[in-house]
Structures are given as structure tokens and as C-alpha cells.
Structure 1
Amino acid sequence: MIEPDPQTADYRPLVLDPADHADAATLRQLAGSAGIRRYDLRAGMRAELAELTGPPPGLDPGEERWVYYPWRHALVAILGPAAFRAIRTDRNRNKLTRAEQQRLAQLTVGVVGQSVGHSVAYTLALEGACGLLRLADFDTIELSNLNRVPGGLFDVGVNKSVVTARRIAELDPYLPVEIWQAGVLIDTVDEFLDGLSVVVEECDSLDIKFAVREAARRRRIPLLMDTSDRGLFDVERYDLEPGREPFHGLLGATTGAQLADLDTKAKAPHVLRILDPGQLSSRMAASLAEVGETITTWPQLGSDVQLGAAIVTAAVRRIGLGAKLSSGRTRVDLEAALDSLAEPGYLDEDIGTVPEPPVDEPPADPVAAILACAQRAPSGGNVQPWRLRGEPGLIEIALDPTGSTAMDIELRGSAVAVGAAVHNARAAAAAHGLLGEPQWRVDDPAVPLLARLRLREGTDPDLAADYPLALDRHTNRRLGATTPLPGTVVPALGTAAAAEDATVHAITGADALAEAAELLGASDRVRYLTPQLHGQLYAELRWPGEDLRTGIDVRTLEPAPDELAKLQVGRRTDVMDRLREWSAGAALGESTVDRVRASSALVAIGFRPRAGGIPDLADYARAGAAVERVWLRAQLLGLAVQPVSPVFLYADRREDLRIVSPEFTDTLASIQRRFQDLLGLPEDENVALVLRLSYAAAASVRSRRLPVPGSRNDG
């Protein structure tokens, strides 16, 4: 029978490639040997590989290896290195991205001492946080070690570094591991540190601790040490501070030679200087007084050792990824943390508990009724970007820019809202026999847009018919049914828009709606990942207990429980920063994608500027009146209506997109072109708003409004 290299046979597996002629011959001999057990894991691994989301490109599921473990007398069939590692480390994502894992795989980490060091080395291997491990310990496993070393009875009497290496080999046979069974000595420490990226020092000998630090300082290698009491952890960045004194200078002028061959009692004063006796746990401090009396040596617990391994591994990750990690000391004190248990803050999923106020009857006074109807107009984020003023014979609706956002490019979205308010005012005026035509002003620097309605006797039956509809108009964001629109609906909406010289462009059919859903979802992703847009998005939302008369009451989003949880996570800027860093976040648009897919149509209200060229705010306002007419007609036809306008809606130029989202300008330009093509939008038309139409259950909550100045609800 062929044996592995006798120099490594007690801790390294023999990895055989059946496609290699020599390896295949060795494999046949091993397979024919008596007493060798065989385990074939390939089918299960291939099944796992097939289920991976976004596997690395170029993986060959047919590549395989046989691994012989001499100490187990076992042959194991597994997939090749690339597929094996992709599967084994897949659950690291995105705590560690693939790019970060590849970067960490360039690290060579040395661990001196294999009691605490065993757990450190194994955790590093477990996470794939290094590409090579070098382990050192001269000692063998004793039964008393098994309170903290995760070995077993079969390991008693075996060199500690061998035990660690075997355990790692059974986890990942492809990870290179070197061992120093003689441990690290004064005259071999430089050789041990040669080529290391990081050294972890966990040995008991004070003179070797000192020697490792002196060598690390000479070679400018960062050194880490965990001391398993109250999570004490030390970092000595000799790579950044080559003049730094060992042990942070806590030993003063003491030399390594003075620390050699000390017994446990003689070590204690030096240990205390390193550990700071005032910061020891009471149990550890009291135990030190009992060393050699009632206990053999200082105590250690397995849980503390495991915690230390986690701390060290986190520090190695930071070093390997170039993250902040300065020299110094910290404590990760679990006992103190458990003393500080507190009741968690609960996510209030019961957002429907706020009582709805009674619906006010329209005021009897005609001017007050006209203003109240104007106040019911839709606006982006329910910001109500207008100032209303009324007197007998005159209604004024002025654009108020104070609530404008980055999406509201040059106040175009606000102008659309003002136009909708003007239509509502005209409908109410017509219903009260006081028809008025709007006069628009855009030439006053102090007031970007002003509409004046001169009220006179007269009516318009079509406008008057919109009055009750305007009072009942609301947004319905419920998921709808994918019921096709009757053939009469889009023409009817077109007729409504034409009354304001606007047009309707409709997207219908499952395939076209699915494409539109993806584009609008991608737009939402940009909204979440652009810091200014993200901040403005969440500034619009209102939660129970907040003033719900402006902004978007979260209940009107009709969120499912999972969507509500996502809203809570989505408000975190640190999460958005991370998704932006990863070029990820496709799921941020899921809510919009789901709703657009569950629709009957999308309609965009298009318009041309009356004077040609670039439209002014009055053009957008007239289009806003068309938006309101289309919305009211759709609702009259039994449709649920929701605005789903993308972040690029009011961008006429590339510079507009750059203002909206500097980082995603190209992305938005691409989405905008594709969306306009899908709409069939002529080049000389602009879009005032995009509405989602569906057949859905009634909205459970409707947005509130601020009181009209001078009304009984004012203030």
C-alpha cells in the first residue's frame, strides 16, 4: 500500500486527482487495500453547487478529487478545489464578498501555541480567512486540555499542532497547513515568522512570547493575542509601528532572557503586569492567588477560548482587508454584556391601530369649499406644495417650493401638483356655479408659479361632475389582479387627458408590464442607494404617532409584514452604503416590481409645451390638470390608481440626471431611454406622471391633508 509522505502523513491528507496518471495508480492501490473505508460525497456536493445563487464563473462540476486521510484510514471523494470552496464558503456571503474572500486567501497566518491557538486556527480555516496556516506547539494533548481544546480521547498523547492540523484537514483538505512540532524556539523564531502576514501568539512561555514580539517587530509583522479572561485582546501593529515596545511597553526594561525558565509562581508578577490586575475578573484574580496551592495553574474556560478565536479572526479579517485596526487593547466582556440584558425594542407591525378621523363634509361656503377641494389634490410625497388663498371672486394657488426634493427637478413635479389642485378648484367652482378660467404667472422670482381663478357666475357640466370624484380621489397601493382592461378604458382616459391638450400612453399586456416593472424597480433601487434620495424618501414616511396630515402614512403603502420589516431595514444608511459598495440591492425595488406586475396597465400622461422648446412650469401645471382628469376618470371606471413615477421622470437633460444621482447617472439614462421606448413616447413630448392601474380591493387607509388656512380645522 502506498503511504503519503512520512514527514506529513500524521497530519496532512493525500489529495489525488483521478485524471492524473500517477494519482490514478495510487488511488487504485489505496482502494484495493483492506481496512480503508470509502466515502463518496460528490453527488450531494453537485446538488449543492447547482443550487448556489450566482456561482463563480467557470466552475467545473465534473472536476473531482479523492482524499486519503491516513489517520482515519479513509478515502473521501469530493469536488475539485474551486467548486469545493465555492460551496463551503457560500454562506459567508455577504458578510464577506467573494472578492474579499479572495483577498483574505492571500494571507499566511502563523499561530504559536495550540491550546487557545487551536480554536483560533480552526476558526480562521472555517471562515476561509487565510490561504496558509503555520502552527507551532511542542506539547501533546493531555486529558486536562480537553476542557478548552476541541479534541477527543483519540487525540490524547498526540502533538497539539498535529491535532489542529488534522481537524482543519477534515474541514478543508485543500487548505495548506504547516506545523512545527518542536514549537517555536529563540533560535527558530525568525524562521517561523518568515513570510507570515500576521502572527497570533498564544503560548505560555513568557520568554517565547517576548521573542516572538521582537522578531515580529524586526520583520514588521502585526501581532495579535487573546487572553481568555473578560475577552482581553491585544493588537501590536509592528507593520505600522516598528518602534513599538513589546507588550505595549508594560514590562518596562525586562528582557526576554530574564523571562526564560520561570516556574508558574515566578511568572505571575510579569503576567500581572501584562494583564493589569485591576481589570481581571474577580474569579481570575482570586484564582491567581491559589495557583500552586489549591489549583495547578490559572484557569481557562472553553467558552472564553472560543470567544477569543472569534475576536482574533475578526482582527485578521480587518488586517487582510485593510480596514481600521490600531495597536492597543480592548475587552469583549460577555459577563458584563449578560448583566446588561434589556427588553428589545419591538417592530410595531400593527400599523393599522391609529383611528381614522371622521370625514369632514364639504364647507357650505363656496370659497371655502373650493379651497378644501383644491387641498385634496395629489402631490409627490403628499407634500402639498402650494399656498391657497381665497376671497369672494378670487382663488389663488401659488407654488410653495419649501418641500421640494431632488426628484422634483426645477420644481416640475410641484407644478404638476399645483395643476391638479387648480383642476380640483375649477371642478368645485363649477359645481357651485362659479366657473373660472386659470391665469398663470411664471415671471415673479418670489413666486415660481401662480394660478389665479377669477370666479364668475356660470358652470361646466363636465367639470362639475368631477367635484365629487375629486373629494373621493385617493391612492390605492394594494396588489391588484392582472385583469386586462376593457377596450374602452384607454380611449376614455385619452379623452380625459385631451381636455387639457395632453395624451395618454399605455403599457398593457403581461410581457410589457413585466419589462416596465423591472425598469421601475431598477429606478427604485437607485432611489434607495443614492444618499440624498434615500434621505428624502424616508423623510416622507409617517408612522403611527406622527403627524399624518402631510407625508405618506405608511399604512397607505398597504405593506405585507415582510415589506414592513424591509421598510425598517431600508431606512438604515449603513445598509444602503454596503449595498452600494457591493453594486447590489436589486431587491430594493421588489415592492414596485410586484405591484406593477399585478396590474392591468401603466399610463403616462404626456404633453407638449405650448410655446415649443422646453416646457415652463405653467406647461407642467396644465399637464397636472390632465393627470387629475385621468385619475378621476380611471377611478370612476372602477380602477385602483397609484402613482409610480420613476426618479428620472422630470429629467430633460443628462445634467438633470447628474443632479438627481451623480453615482447612477449612466444607469438612470439607460433606464429612461428603455422606459420611453416602451411607452412609445415621441421625442417632443414630456411626461407629467405615470400611474399604475389595477382592479384591487379598496384602500384600507387614505392620506390626510393639512387644514386649509382659515378653515375650522386650521391648526
Structure 2
Amino acid sequence: MLVLENLIKEDFTSCEPQFFRIYQQQDKDALEALLKNKPYLKIHDEIETQLDDLIKSKHPKKKPEPEEMEALKIQHIGNLSKLEYGVWVYYPWSERLVHLLDEEEFIAVRTNRNIYKITPEERDILGKQKIGVVGLSVGQSISITMAMERGFGEIRLADFDLLELTNLNRIRTGVQNLGIKKVVLVAREIKEIDPFLKVVCFDEGMTEENMDRFFTEGGNLDIVVDECDGLDIKILLRHKAKALGIPVVQDMSDRGTLDVERFDLEPDRPILHGWIDHLDHTQVKYLKTNEEKVPFLLAMIGVDTLSNRLKASMVEVGQSITTWPQLASAVALGGALGADVCRRISLKQYTESGRYFVDLEELIGDKNKARDSDYEVVDYKADELTEDEINQAIAAISAKESESQLLNDDQVERLVSAAAIAPSAGNNQPWKWVARSGKLYLFHDEKHSVSWGDFDNITSNIAFGTAIENIKLEAGKSGLEASYLAFPNPENKRLVAAFSFHQTNTAYASKLAAGMAIRLTNRKQGSKEPVKAEVVASLKTAASLGSQAQLQVIQEEHQINRIADIVAGVERIRFLYPQGHHDFYTKEIRWTPEAVNETKDGLDILSLELSESDKTGLKVAANPEVIKLLNRWGGGAAFENLSRKAIRTSSAIGLITMPSYEAENFIKGGEAVQRVWIDANLNGLSFHPISAPLFLFARLNHGNGEGLNQKMTEELSKYEKDLLQIFPILGDKQGIFMFRLSHASAPTVRALRKPLKDILQFI
């Protein structure tokens, strides 16, 4: 067994070499003492080759022969021996003693190959610069590159972190340095390149307490390079730089993205290009959770301009990876970009601010990229519902229509206004209401609903049912009984229903009628408070009112959690399936208030009640390239969070079924959905549809899995079996609609509806 206790421990702290000029007696004595104390030192004496290079630089036009070169060297060093000439530099961390030219000659020879990319006069200017670097992953690359070019005379390094194995994918150092502070490693490397450069280490990192010293002690910095992770420090150091008139440079190690803020030339310039001006950045240091920090982070990084791989990786953080990825090639490029810009700022060769991209994939890439089939979608279109089609469809059923009380225009508008506030899948409002000769007809305006998700018009038919139920309820308030023929024209299924109305003394579901206006979707998390038995009974009664619909209610927490996993898994499949992804982003979601108010349909992003992290993930995933990458990687589990967390806070899960799979049963089921929904809201319960599994199972079973690949088919089949174990009734009945009930605070927003003029036509 090896005994390690008595072995020499690695020096984890020193980063300053010692200098010995042995032509001075005191230095000679000190070096002799060091050698006596440490006879094992490794000695590197290449003063001969350094003198060769020095002499050549002084005589660029001629190439001295060896004898002449030797004579020139002896002449140059004068009365000193070669052993005494120059300076001996001792590096305690590596136990090396190195013989070098002294400072002036060392600088001249070391930078000789820079001329005239950097002139001697420019070199001298750069040698007076004080540069601060905060954060030493990308910052290491920038610092070392600047040191190699001798782009500063003094550098101040700030980082509190130790080198870990995961850092070695992008920090150029060896495994023997694991556990050493990054500031020490970078300082050592700079000193090994050029021991005459001044390096000041802030090994506690940048803090509010040491920020003044970092910026001003020993003279104000000329440039600060920000590569730190802390949002509060990023903002605070910019405020300090702005106050002192110091430019800030930042590389993001993605797409060659470089930020430059010239506070020296633009004293009134907003920090971070003004991208966080709408946020209260004085509070950043108090933010604790990622959810609180995300708005600042998004504004800083610019989600829309990230590379596709980084966008896709963001979705996987916390799922299959622990943090954002960085590549050595990107960090090396960032080192070059940062060093180059800092040099040109110092030399007054560059005077602007901005965000810049040096995207190698765009600059050096295939001009004719091979077409892939990983994201093939159809932009579903439907024929316009014309007045001629409407008239022909109605004319063909005149013989089938029963006697009906004719409606005046005011009655029609009241009825259709009530129908318009009914729910629909993705709030697509797939209806066109037609009033003709005092009669009312419902048509399917397919341009609003045609999509991969509306398989066999299932979701549209459910929406028609909810709207029809509102027609019935509104008619009952006026003493009318509403009935309808479903799909009365076999030749035109876009004519969904023809209504008839009769006077009645019995008000239809008057309690529910009073609740139509308050019915709404609420996706907020709940308190898990149980639903009272009498409320469950009321909901079941509402479902079966004059209908074959049945309502099943699950309240056991472990079963609710199982349903959450099923729904979450199906949602992931839907998001990762190109057509499902395309339809969601192009048809359903509305990202801004302007878009919501312009269309008055679709889902307001605020209505999804997402955390800032989840909202970010959803926005990042809008790019088809991201979906292609996630599918290739087998990722995308983060999409399960969009629904799982909320469902797990539910008080109950409800399932509405009908006897069989038929179009009319989905309409009848939709009527039951509306009754249950209204009744739940009247009883103070929040209602949130979670029916995606039922709709995809229908495609699987009644559409022969059309459009589904083998993996999706297998996963959906498994989820269907899991749901059948929870709701055995699905073995005999057709699942129409599934929803969660909860006790929750009011929703953030309420979905808008199209104006009456857009959905009602008098002909």
C-alpha cells in the first residue's frame, strides 16, 4: 500500500517568481543559498539563444557568421560573464530556475515578431495599460492572449473559483492543477510567459467590497473585461466602469459574440446597451432564485441571437446537463477577439460600442447545405367558406328542418354572443354562425382550426358542443328551448348544426346559464385542497344532464401524479413532433399583447402561467433547428415541466366519456364539458383542460397512427395503457375530455374572443 502522507504537498498559492541579478553580490549570495537549500531545482539556461536573437534583431540586414556572432555577443555583454548577464528567475511553484535577458532586452526580443503589426511605439503604449479581467474561464484565454501580445503592463485578475475537472474542456492547463484557484493558475502562466508583467490577484473574486480597489488601486484601470457569471457583479461593475469612464469588453463564447461598451467615450451610454433599462437592476443582488434572475439573463444574452446548439442546450440544462456548455474553440476565439479589441481600444484604433458576431459556422460553412428530413411539416390550409357554399348547404336540408320560431336580429346576436365565449382548442374559435330567414346555422370555418392536432375534427367538434351548450343556456334565459340537427347535410360536413327554437315554460339549466360569463381557464398551480363530495356530485349531474355523457373524478394524490406524468409525457411528444411543434408556434401561441389584441384568438403566453425559466425554454424551443437537435439527442424532457408541475397541485382530475367514437358524440360530449366547466367555476374551482393524451390516442387508434413514427407510437401506446389503469372506463367508452380541478388564485389573463362581426353572418 502506498504511503502518501509524508510526500511533498503541491504549492497551491504562490504566483510570484523571484529575480536574481547575480552581478550584484547580494543577489548572488541569495541565489547560492537557494541552490544550497534546494539542490534539486531544475535549471533552464538558454541565454545563448536569447543573445543570438537579440543580436539578430539589432542587425536585421546582415546574417553574422558564427565567429562574428560570438564576437558581437561578447562585445554586447561587456565585462560580465554570460552566467552573470541578464537575470535568473526562480518559479517556486514548479521549482525551476530560468536564465533570461533582463526586462528591456527581454521585452524587445519577445515582441520582435509583433513588429509592425504592433510598432515599437505602440508596444510601449500597451506596456503602460492596466487591464482588469473578471472571471477566468473565457477570461483566462483573453488574459493569456493579451500577455502573449504584451497588451498590458499590469493585469488585475478576479475569480474566487478553483479549477475543477469539468473546466478542462475549455481552460488550457493540466490535471496537476486541479484544486488550485484559477487566479493563481492564470497569474502563473502569465509570469511564465513574461515575468516582468505585473499581475494583481483578487482570489476572493469581484465583490462589492473590493470593487473600488480592483478598479482604482495603483491607478484606474484602462479597460475591464467582464467574463463573470454573477448577474449582480456584471451590472455593478458596469455602473462602476461608467462612473469612472472605463470601457467594458465581454465575450460570450457563442457565435463569436463580443460586447463593447465605451463608457470612456460615451459617459451617458446605458449599461448593457440599454437592454435591461426596463428592469430594476438595483435589486439584482437580492435575487436568489433562477426564476427571479431569468428576465435579466435573457435581456443580457439576447436569446434570439444565440446559436441553435446553445438554444437547444438551454432546454437541457437541469435535465441531461447541469449547466450551459462552452467549447475550447469558442473560448479560444473569444480570447483572440477580446485581446484584439482591447489592444485597438488602447491604441485608439477603435472607438465604437456595440454587439458583434464572428460566427465561424456562418463565415466558414457549406454554401449548399444538404437537405434533411428531420423537420418536415405541412402548412395546413382550408378552402374559404364562401356564401355560395353556405347557401347551397342550407338549401339542401330545407326538407329536413323542423318548424321553428323565427329569430329576430337582436335574438340572433344575443345567442351568438353567448356561443362566442365558449372554449375551443387553443382558443381557435372554429365557428361561423349564419342567420338566414330567422333561422340559425353553425358552420365549421376550417381555416381557423385545420391542423395536425385537430385529428378527425375531434377538437373542433368538442368546441362546437361547448358553443351549442351556451346557445341552449342563453335561449333558456329568453323562454326558448333550443334543439339542433347535427350534420344535417351528408354532402357538406362543414354545416355542423341547424337549430330550431320553441317557446317553453321550463328554463333550461338556469343555474348554469348564470355562470356562462364567469367560465374561464385557469392553469395556475393549486393548493391540493380536496373537492367536497357534494361538489363532485353536482359536477357529475351536470355532465349527464339530458346526455349519455359520464364524468369520472380521481382525487387520490398518487393517481393525480400518475396522470401528471402521462400528460407531461404526451405534451413532450407533441412538442418534439415537427408538425405538432409547427402548429403550436404558428397557430396557437401569442407572445405579445399586441399579437393577442390583433388576432383575438390563440393562447396568450401569460395564460400558460409558466415560470420565467419555462417561458424562456418555450421561447428558445420555437426554432425548428432546436427541435431537430433535441430529437437527435433524445432530449426535450424539459417540455414535461410545462404541465406536470401544475397538474401535481390539482385537487382532482376529471374525465368525460361518451358511449362511442362518433363525430356527434364529440359534439354531445362538448356540451357536457361546458356544463361541467361552468358548474366547477360556480363552485369556486379552477378548471384546466389536459386532453392532449385523448386526442393523440384517437389518432393512434382511429387514424392508424397517421404521421406518428415508431418511437412516438410505442410511447403513446404505453401512456394509453397507463391511463386505462387509472380510468378503466376507457376500455368500454370513448374518452372525450380530461381536465384538472384545483383551488387556485385568479388567472393572470382571460382569453379574448373575436368580435361578433367576424363570426356571425346574416344572409
**TM-score of the superposed pair, with normalisation by structure 2:** 0.48
Aligned to 2:189: 151
Q: Where in structure 2 are the equivalents of 1:57-96 lying within 5 Å?
A: none
Is the aligned partner of 1:699 residue 2:718? no
- Which residue does 2:564 correspond to in 1? 517
In the alignment, is the contact (CA less than 8 A) between 1:436 and 1:455 conserved in 2? yes
Q: CA deviation at 1:342?
A: 5.2
* Separation (CA, whole Å) in 2 of partners of 1:540 and 1:676: 29
Of 663, 682, 706, which aligns to 1:636? 682
Deviation at 1:616, TM superposition (A): 2.3
Consecutive unaligned residues in structure 2, runs of 5 or more: 13-40, 43-90, 95-136, 138-146, 150-162, 175-185, 196-255, 257-325, 358-407
Q: 1:340 to 1:314 in 2, by over 3 A?
A: closer
Match of 1:37 in 2: 9
Identity %: 24
Match of 2:441 among 375, 386, 396: 396
Distance 1:520 1:37, change over 3 A: same
Structure 1 residue 371: deviation in Å? 0.9
Return the alpha-carbon distance in structure 2 between the equivalents of residues 505 and 525 of structure 1: 25
Matched with 1:440 is: 486
2:420 corresponds to 1:372:
no
1:598 aligns with 2:649: yes
Within 2, Cα distance between the matches of 1:504 and 1:337?
71
CA separation in 2, counterparts of 1:152 and 1:591?
48
Structure 2: distance between partners of 1:445 and 1:607: 26
In 1, Cα distance between the equivalents of 2:350 and 2:523?
44
Give the CA deviation at 1:151.
2.6
Q: Deviations over 1:140-163 (max 9, x none)?
A: xxxxxxxx9973556889xxxxxx
Q: Which of the numbers 548, 553, 556 marks the counterpart of 2:604?
A: 553
Q: What is the aligned partner in structure 1 of residue 698 from structure 2?
A: 652
SS at match of 1:387: strand
- CA gap 1:396/1:465 in 2 versus in 1, 3 angstroms: farther
CA distance in 1 between partners of 2:579 and 2:350 (Å): 36
SS in 2 for 1:688: strand
Q: What do residues 314-333 of structure 1 show as CA deviations (whole Å, max 9, x unaligned)?
A: 89xxxxxxxxxxxxxx9998
- Partner residue in 1 for 2:724: 676
* Cα shift at 1:368: 1.1
Q: CA deviation at 1:128?
A: 4.4
d(CA) in 2 for partners of 1:713, 1:545? 27
- The whole-number CA distance in structure 2 between the counterparts of 1:685 and 1:510 is 24
Q: Higher mean Cα deviation, 528-537 or 377-386?
A: 528-537
- Which letter maps to 1:502? A
Q: Partner of 1:589 in structure 2?
A: 640
Aligned residues: 419
1:310 pairs with 2:356: no
Identify which of 577, 597, 607 aligns with 1:530.
577
Hey, what does 1:50 align to over in structure 2? none
**Residue 454 (structure 2) aligns with:** 408
Letter in 1 for 2:593: P
* Contact in 2 for aligned 1:651/1:657 (Cα 8 Å): no
Residue number in structure 2 paired with 1:318: none
Question: Hey, what's the Cα distance between the residues in 1 that align with 2:455 and 2:540?
Answer: 26
What are the equivalent positions in structure 2 for 1:497-508 lying under 5 Å apart?
497-499=543-545, 500-508=547-555
The offset of 1:489, in angstroms, is 2.2
1:149–1:420 distance in 2 versus 1, CA, 3 Å: same
AA matched with 1:151: E
Q: Which amino acid aligns with 2:440?
A: I
- Which runs of at least 4 in structure 1 moved beyond 4 Å after TM superposition? 69-74, 122-130, 152-157, 311-315, 330-340, 710-714
For 2:351 and 2:505, how far apart are their aligned partners in 1?
Answer: 74
**Residue 640 of structure 1 contacts residue 696 of structure 1 at CA under 8 Å; is this kept in 2?**
yes
| TM-superposed deviation, 1:478 | 1.9
Alpha-carbon deviations, 1:641-692, whole Å to 9, x = none? 1111124525336364733542522112211221232223331211111111
Q: Take 1:309 and 1:474, find their aligned partners in 2: how far apart are those partners?
A: 51
Q: Deviations over 1:281-311 (max 9, x none)?
A: xxxxxxxxxxxxxxxxxxxxxxxxxx99735
Distance 1:482 1:642 in 2: 14
The answer for unaligned runs of 5 or more in structure 1 is 1-20, 41-68, 75-91, 93-113, 117-121, 134-147, 158-230, 232-306, 316-329, 345-362, 610-614
Counterpart residue identity of residue 697, structure 1: S
Higher relative contact order by CA 8 Å / sep ≥ 6: 1 or 2?
2
The 3 A distance-change label for structure 1 pair 333 and 710 is: same
Amino acid at match of 2:573: V
Distance 1:337 1:430, change over 3 A: farther
CA distance in 1, matches of 2:432, 2:751: 19
**TM-score in terms of structure 1 length:** 0.51
Q: Which residue number corresponds to residue 574 of structure 1?
A: 625
**Counterpart Cα distance in 1 of 2:328 and 2:642:** 41
Deviations 1:469-518 (A, max 9, x none): 22321111222211011112222211111122111122212211111112
In structure 1, distance between residues paired with 2:544 and 2:505: 20
User: How far is 1:126 from its partner?
Assistant: 5.7
Separation in 2 of the partners of 1:454 and 1:337?
78
Identify the residue that residue 666 of structure 1 maps to in structure 2: 714
Deviation of residue 545 (structure 1)? 0.8
Deviations 1:380-434 (A, max 9, x none): 0111111111246522112232222212111111111111111111111121122
Superposition RMSD on alpha carbons, in Å? 4.4
Opposite residue 544 of structure 1, the aligned amino acid is: P
* CA distance in 2 between partners of 1:314 and 1:678 (Å): 55
Which one-letter code corresponds to 2:464 in the other structure? V
